[in-house]
């Protein structure tokens, strides 16, 4: 089936010279459509990749490549550089693995060679020929055949400066990936990270599962959900804020070790650390507690980093992060002693409230006088300590009132057997001994409902089915969630979460 273009699509609000270039490329495409050839052929299958050719022949001398039988080569990719020099020309072709130069003469046919001179940077071409070295010693393909596979209608950014506008990189990630090898490397590292995590989990007896992304009741975290409507069921639904409650249902069902690499959604602010949709890896293990989880999480991140980027000595924004050393562990109280001058006042609620007010918190907004001592301590920790936790550090014993799904500490029931892992001053993971007392869980969820009725739109809903599942009995269990996006910021030395998400959330274009 052939479609005829009856109207030129808009070319956006581009500079006049760029609109002119697009118009010229459209005219070239029109000429191809009106000629005898196929405008967008799809019958070419490259036999080689750029990096394979460099690996196989990169050490070969000019004489060795020219001796004996010629070494065939067949590649396809985007033309990134082009030098037309009369009887001979050069083109740099980029595929998914890298770049290689093609040497093009009238050996490809006089008509084809003449057509090549009018091809543009960004066009996707096929090159067949044999390997050789140029007079300057560059490994190249001496082309005997070239074809235009895809006509690029928009000019690429300037080859020397690339894309300078950071928001444009996020909005047009496809161009960013074409132009920036570092961007391609960054996202290749993300793929390796996810693969390494999967292997580590399955090697340790965990089963990968999939749980719903559309929830009738949002749960598993204190967060504001995205709301939608299911027409066939005629009911309100919520995008997943966390997979936790479904994964614990599976522990009840008898799967003793489960994990899910999941996409979750929270209708909250956007910042260098926050995107409304993000990726977590959550895992649950029966007969583990939060101490077991900390041991395992440390091993998981260390093994994953080694596999993904090949080192445990990382550089982040000019400072070293060493994942090879044991991760520090301290309670919130210990962290306050270590990083503030609170001293003996650490258990003085009035002093904590006074200090929090000096930091800009208020009674009206933050309800300071109604908070427990443990809650005031964690609030002061968040304001004054988090940013100082550069080396990997587990912070333990979070307040029970803000940890509705975590098991309370037997000796200090006002705090839970919970930890958060901080690296470079950012939370990377959150885990705890799971609450498996169905009656206690029901009471805690009822307290969350009361908070929601009082105006807390991040408080949890009451999930009767989850409570019912616990009533069947869940073994002692530990569970943890690891933030993949923030971990990738660390592994790839990226200052913003948008740098490690292929298509981050952005406002509509004007």
The closest of 440, 424, 412, 223 to 332, measured between CA atoms, is 412
What integer pLDDT is reported at residue 269 of this predicted model? 87
Cα–Cα distance measured from residue 500 to residue 189, given in angstroms and rounded to the nearest whole number:
10
Residue with tokens 């969350």: 448
Strands 277-286 and 98-105: unpaired
The closest of 314, 327, 249 to 282, measured between CA atoms, is 249
Q: Is the dihedral of CA 57, 61, 66, 69 positive or negative?
A: negative
Where b means 16+ CB within 10 Å and e means fewer, 242-262 reads bbbbbbbbbbbeeebbbbbbb
What pTM was computed for the model?
0.91
DSSP-based three-state secondary structure for 65: helix
Which domains occur in the chain, in start order? Answer: 16-156 (2.40.50.140), 178-327+391-499 (3.30.930.10)
The closest of 205, 404, 203 to 288, measured between CA atoms, is 205
275 CB-near residues (< 8 Å, 6+ apart): 485, 497, 498, 501, 504, 505
What integer pLDDT is reported at residue 13 of this predicted model? 55
- Is residue 211 within 8 A of residue 260, CB to CB? The reply is yes
Cα–Cα distance measured from residue 251 to residue 440, given in angstroms and rounded to the nearest whole number:
18
Cα–Cα distance measured from residue 510 to residue 503, given in angstroms and rounded to the nearest whole number:
18
Binding residues for Mg(2+): 420, 427
- Is residue 477 within 8 A of residue 436, CB to CB? The reply is yes
Binding residues: 420, 427
What integer pLDDT is reported at residue 15 of this predicted model? 65
- Is residue 141 within 8 A of residue 102, CB to CB? The reply is yes
pLDDT 10s digit of each residue in the chain, 510 long? 444 444 444 445 566 778 899 999 999 999 999 987 799 999 999 999 999 999 999 999 999 999 989 999 999 999 999 999 889 999 999 999 999 999 999 999 999 999 999 999 999 999 999 999 999 999 999 999 999 999 999 999 986 666 788 999 999 999 999 999 999 999 999 999 999 999 999 999 999 999 999 999 999 998 999 999 999 999 999 999 999 999 999 999 999 999 999 999 999 989 999 999 999 999 999 999 999 999 999 999 999 999 999 999 999 999 999 999 999 999 999 999 999 999 999 999 999 999 999 999 999 999 899 888 988 999 999 999 999 999 999 999 999 988 999 999 999 998 999 999 999 999 999 999 999 999 999 999 999 999 888 888 888 999 999 999 999 999 999 999 999 999 999 999 999 999 999 999 999 887
For residue 292, give both structure tokens: 């077991």
Cα–Cα distance measured from residue 256 to residue 309, given in angstroms and rounded to the nearest whole number:
31
For residue 53, give both structure tokens: 């050719």
492 CB-near residues (< 8 Å, 6+ apart): 186, 189, 190, 309, 499, 500
Please give the full DSSP string across 421-473, using - where no structure is assigned. EEETTEEEEEEEEBP--HHHHHHHHHHHHHHHHTT-TTSPPP-HHHHHHHHT-
Please give the full DSSP string across 298-328, using - where no structure is assigned. HHHHHHHHHHHHS-SEEEETTEEEESSSPPE
CA distances to 26, 145, 185, 354, 355 from 112, in Å: 19, 9, 35, 79, 76
CA distances to 114, 343, 415, 417, 505 from 410, in Å: 82, 26, 9, 9, 43
- Is residue 72 within 8 A of residue 141, CB to CB? The reply is no
Q: Give Cα 277 distance to the centre of its chain.
A: 10
């Amino acid at each position: 089936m052939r479609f005829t273009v009856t109207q030129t699509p808009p070319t956006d609000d581009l500079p006049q010279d760029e609109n002119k270039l697009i118009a010229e490329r459209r005219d070239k495409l029109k000429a191809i459509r009106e000629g005898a050839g196929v405008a967008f052929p799809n019958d070419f299958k490259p036999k080689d990749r750029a990096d394979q050719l460099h690996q196989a022949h990169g050490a070969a001398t000019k004489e060795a490549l020219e001796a004996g039988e010629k070494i065939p080569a067949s590649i396809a990719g985007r033309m990134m550089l082009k030098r037309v020099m009369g009887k001979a020309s050069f083109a740099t072709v980029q595929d998914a693995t890298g770049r290689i130069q093609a040497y093009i003469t009238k050996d490809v046919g006089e008509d084809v060679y003449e057509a090549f001179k009018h091809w543009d940077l960004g066009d996707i071409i096929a090159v067949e020929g044999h390997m050789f070295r140029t007079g300057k010693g560059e490994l190249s393909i001496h082309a005997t055949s070239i074809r235009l596979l895809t006509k690029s209608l928009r000019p690429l950014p300037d080859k020397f400066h690339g894309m300078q506008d950071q928001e444009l990189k996020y909005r047009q990630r496809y161009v960013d990936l074409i132009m920036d090898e570092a961007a391609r490397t960054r996202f290749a590292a993300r793929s390796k990270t996810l693969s390494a995590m999967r292997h580590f989990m399955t090697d340790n007896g965990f089963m990968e599962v999939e749980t719903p992304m559309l929830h009738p009741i949002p749960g598993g975290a204190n967060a504001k959900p995205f709301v939608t409507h299911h027409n066939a069921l005629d009911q309100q639904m919520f995008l997943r804020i966390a997979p936790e409650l479904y994964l614990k249902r599976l522990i009840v069902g008898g799967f003793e070790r489960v994990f899910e690499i999941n996409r979750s959604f929270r209708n909250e602010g956007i910042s260098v650390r926050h995107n409304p949709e993000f990726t977590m890896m959550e895992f649950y293990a029966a007969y583990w507690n939060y101490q077991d989880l900390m041991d395992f999480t440390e091993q998981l991140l260390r093994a994953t980093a080694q596999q993904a980027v090949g080192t445990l000595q990382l550089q982040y924004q000019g400072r070293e992060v060493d994942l090879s050393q044991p991760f520090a562990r301290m309670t919130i109280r210990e962290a306050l002693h270590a990083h503030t001058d609170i001293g003996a006042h650490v258990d003085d609620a009035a002093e904590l409230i006074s200090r929090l007010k000096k930091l800009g918190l208020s009674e009206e907004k933050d309800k300071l006088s109604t908070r427990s001592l443990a809650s005031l301590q964690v609030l002061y920790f968040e304001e004054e300590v988090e940013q100082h936790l550069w080396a990997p550090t587990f912070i333990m014993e979070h307040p029970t009132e803000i940890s509705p799904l975590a098991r309370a500490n037997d000796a200090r029931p006002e705090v839970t057997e919970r930890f958060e892992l901080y690296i470079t001053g950012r939370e990377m993971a959150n885990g705890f001994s799971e609450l498996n007392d169905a009656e206690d869980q029901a009471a805690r969820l009822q307290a969350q409902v009361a908070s929601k009725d009082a105006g807390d739109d991040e408080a949890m809903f009451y999930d009767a089915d989850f409570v019912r599942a616990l009533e069947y009995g869940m073994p002692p269990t530990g569970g943890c969630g690891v933030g993949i996006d923030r971990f990738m910021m660390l592994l790839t030395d990226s200052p913003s979460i948008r740098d490690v998400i292929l298509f981050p959330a952005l406002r509509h274009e004007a």
